[in-house]
Every structure is written in C-alpha cells, then in structure tokens.
Amino acid sequence: MSSYLTIQQLIEKHPCFTKGGMRYYLFNSKFNGLDDSQAIIRIGRKILIEEERFFEWINKINNRNYKMEA
C-alpha cells in the first residue's frame, strides 16, 4: 500500500526538507522530472506526495547530478 502525504506531513516526517524547498520542487515539477516520476498527485488545489516514489526520484536526481560532476 502506498503512503500518500501532504507537503506538511512530509516535512514533519522528514525535517531535512523545508516548505520552501518542496514548493520549489513542485513549482518546477514539469522540468525537474518530478511529474514524470508519478510521485505527486494533484486533487484540485491539494497536492499529495507518494513517499516511496518521491525518494526514488530524489535518489535518481542525486545520481544524475553526481555523474555530471564526475
């Protein structure tokens, strides 16, 4: 069963993420691959984040950035 969290719930559960950082990820989701990861669900104005897919996306962009620097 997937675990869906609101932005606030994700921030409370994982304090390494800030509200501003999450807003940046969501605002740029069409360009940073977050939309393609299917980690976010928009229901009207409400945004839910599928926790496992979100962290898969984080790992993917970290690996991509690491390879670009090497």
Task: Identify the helix (H) or strand (E) that includes residue 21.
Answer: helix 19-27
Residue 17: DSSP 8-state: S
Residue 32 banded pLDDT, cuts 50, 70, 90: very high
User: Is the pLDDT at 29 greater than 90, yes or no?
Assistant: yes
Tens of pLDDT, residues 34-56: 999 999 999 999 999 999 999 99
Average pLDDT over residues 7-30: 96
pTM (whole model) above 0.85: no
